[in-house]
Chains A and B, each alone.
Chain A
Amino acid sequence: MSGKHVKLSPASWKLKTAGILVAIAAVFMISFYMLDLNLVRFVERLGNAGRVLALFVAFDATVLPDAILEMLTSLAIAVAALAVGFIISIALAFLAAANTAPSKIIASIIKSMVAIIRAVPSLVWILMIVASIGFGNTAGMVALLLSTCGYLVKAFASSIEEKGSDSIEAMRAVGANWFGIVLKGVLPGVIGSFLSWTSIRFESNITESVTLGMVGVGGIGTLLMRAISQFNYGRIVAILAVIVSFMLFVELVATALRRRINK
């Protein structure tokens, strides 16, 4: 052994790592080139940023009562979609997860549906939904419900697949039926991570609910959009302040909840 160079990984691994790094660098360069970014113009116009930012040093407090009320509407849409989505997603996740699915065909159908829902942005969903049921809170809730289910079914199913196998075996061995296996065997073990996923989703539901408001569904987004189109910077800032405060509050509550659940 003396004097001989000791390798900590085979030479082929190093070659592979180098190859991967070169490939990533190439992908980055290509994307950069394809975007046709004009950095010179960006730097030239950066000077305007100060002037625009100065316009935002304003605060129109008169909009606050309206803003808070509309924020509550956005919050209500987010919560309603989350609550309904949570229940639907639990059922669908157990039907879709590889280790609990009673039928492979149903599981594939659910997984494909979820993949489609996730692939289509919720702004596109809202356009389709608005076209069929018109503007308003219902359209917002349905659009949000779709993206909530798209997210939660996938997350829940992966938790079930990760954690369920030992308890499924035990429940099968005592002669439990599918409902027994799922509700008595698997659910108690995964409900903690289900709630964790849901609390994460809660935050994005609120953000999405605000965004959906901007395309005409009810809530604070509508108010914000109106202020933007009027270039009313004081109102924009006040509305944003309401949104940010609510989001901070929600973030604190969600974090506290997650900590309790994971104990």
Chain B
Amino acid sequence: MGKALLSIKNLRKSYDKFEALRGIDIEFNEGEFVVMIGSSGAGKSTFIRCINRMIDPSDGEIVFSDGVHMEKLRGAALRRKRAQIGMIFQHYNLIGRVNVIKNVMHGQLGQVPFWRSLLGLYPEAEKRRAVELLEEVGLSEQIFKRADALSGGQMQRVGICRAVMQNPKLLLADEPIASLDPKSSEIVMDCLKRITKQRGLCCIVNLHQVDFAKKYADRIIGVKAGKIVLDGSPDALTDEIVRYIYSGEQTTVEEAQEKPVPSSGRRSAAHA
């Protein structure tokens, strides 16, 4: 296991009276590929958006290994820190009318002076790196294509390249394959895992597909109603726990493990 990268203490987020995150304590290490599972509304997206402060937490600490308290940053300091955290979105969030390589270069926006990016004067080495990244994800032919002319799977690979262009130590992926067919999902997940492993990045991925979570994760975190109910290796994710995480029941994970599992419905639970 790599060195500790990020430590989160008592993270809370409320929207009016609804508590999306109810006190999360967790640590992430360099080089781990972490998958978070949980039903819609469990708080997964809110959690990863609190890490890079796309959403402001209501309470708690988000501390990086360099001592930076993410929750305390404002203005330019916040932007500088955000620039070191890559993010991948469910709907790719590319700029549709802009070509692929320019979209990838947007990953540098927080790192080069604005006038340079405005005039397209990115450092030559960074431009070369963007081309290499696109080659690595199999998009060397599409470099000058408009982003909105790509398929969903291709767009998400561009999204990955844009995030990696930030030279991050941490990558956050919010449902990166939720809008993709199974084949494209596999290509995207292979890509994401390969790239993060090669570079020793920590990657936190929100997923709904339990089978994908088991296949790719080094560590699985189960979230239910704003709390972490499971944190362990993929083997720890038994059918009972999956059913518990995706059920509306307010039992504890221990109680769920004790319940006998009927033989029918095991698969459907795994695909919940």
Using a CB–CB cutoff of 8 Å, the interface residues on chain A facing chain B are 166-167, 169-177, 179-180, 183-185, 188-189, 191-192
| Segment from B57-65, B87-95, B182-190, B249-257 that makes contact with A | B87-95
A175 touches B80 (CB 8 A): yes
Please report the C-alpha to C-alpha distance between residue A103 and residue B38 in the assembled complex, in whole angstroms. 36
Q: Is the interface of A mostly helix, strand, loop or mixed?
A: helix
| Segment from B27-35, B110-118, B211-219 that makes contact with A | B110-118
A166 touches B89 (CB 8 A): yes
Chain A proximity mask over B91-119: 1 for CB below 8 Å, otherwise 0? 10111111000000011111100100110
A174 touches B106 (CB 8 A): yes
Interface residue B82 (Cβ < 8 Å from any Cβ of A): yes
Q: Which residues of A contact B79 (CB under 8 A)?
A: 175-177
Q: Which residues of A contact B97 (CB under 8 A)?
A: 188-189, 191-192
A171 touches B98 (CB 8 A): no
Q: Which residues of A contact B76 (CB under 8 A)?
A: 177
Give me the 8 closest cross-chain CB pairs, A-B, nearest first. Answer: A175-B110, A175-B83, A170-B93, A173-B87, A176-B109, A175-B82, A175-B79, A166-B93
Q: Which residues of B contact A167 (CB under 8 A)?
A: 93-95
Q: Which residues of B contact A176 (CB under 8 A)?
A: 79, 106, 109-110
Interface residue B54 (Cβ < 8 Å from any Cβ of A): yes
Q: Which residues of A contact B85 (CB under 8 A)?
A: 173
How many residue pairs bridge A and B at CB < 8 Å?
75
Contact sample, A vs B, 14 pairs, CB 8 Å cutoff:
A172-B54, A173-B54, A174-B83, A174-B87, A174-B110, A174-B162, A174-B166, A175-B81, A175-B83, A176-B110, A177-B79, A183-B118, A188-B96, A189-B96
Q: Which residues of A contact B95 (CB under 8 A)?
A: 167, 170, 184-185, 188-189
Q: Which residues of A contact B96 (CB under 8 A)?
A: 188-189
Known: A170-B106, A174-B107. 19 other contacts (CB 8 A): A166-B93, A167-B94, A167-B95, A169-B93, A172-B82, A173-B52, A173-B85, A173-B87, A174-B106, A175-B84, A175-B109, A175-B166, A177-B79, A179-B118, A180-B109, A184-B95, A184-B109, A188-B96, A188-B98
Out of B54, B98, B108, B110, which one reaches A169, CB within 8 Å? B54
Please report the C-alpha to C-alpha distance between residue A188 and residue B76 in the assembled complex, in whole angstroms. 24
Q: Which residues of B contact A180 (CB under 8 A)?
A: 109-110, 114, 117
Residue of B nearest to A190 (CB): B97
Please report the C-alpha to C-alpha distance between residue A179 and residue B112 in the assembled complex, in whole angstroms. 13
Beyond A183-B118, A188-B97, whether A171 also contacts B89 by CB under 8 A is: no
Please report the C-alpha to C-alpha distance between residue A254 and residue B244 in the assembled complex, in whole angstroms. 60
B245 to chain A, nearest CB (A): 27
Out of A169, A184, A188, A189, which one reaches B89, CB within 8 Å? A169
Q: Which residues of B contact A179 (CB under 8 A)?
A: 114, 118
Q: Which residues of A contact B118 (CB under 8 A)?
A: 179, 183-184
Please report the C-alpha to C-alpha distance between residue A177 and residue B106 in the assembled complex, in whole angstroms. 12
Residue of B nearest to A163 (CB): B96
Q: Which residues of B contact A184 (CB under 8 A)?
A: 95, 106, 109, 117-118
Per the 8 Å Cβ criterion, residues 182-233 of B in contact with A are none
Please report the C-alpha to C-alpha distance between residue A28 and residue B177 in the assembled complex, in whole angstroms. 55
Please report the C-alpha to C-alpha distance between residue A171 and residue B102 in the assembled complex, in whole angstroms. 13
Please report the C-alpha to C-alpha distance between residue A185 and residue B118 in the assembled complex, in whole angstroms. 11
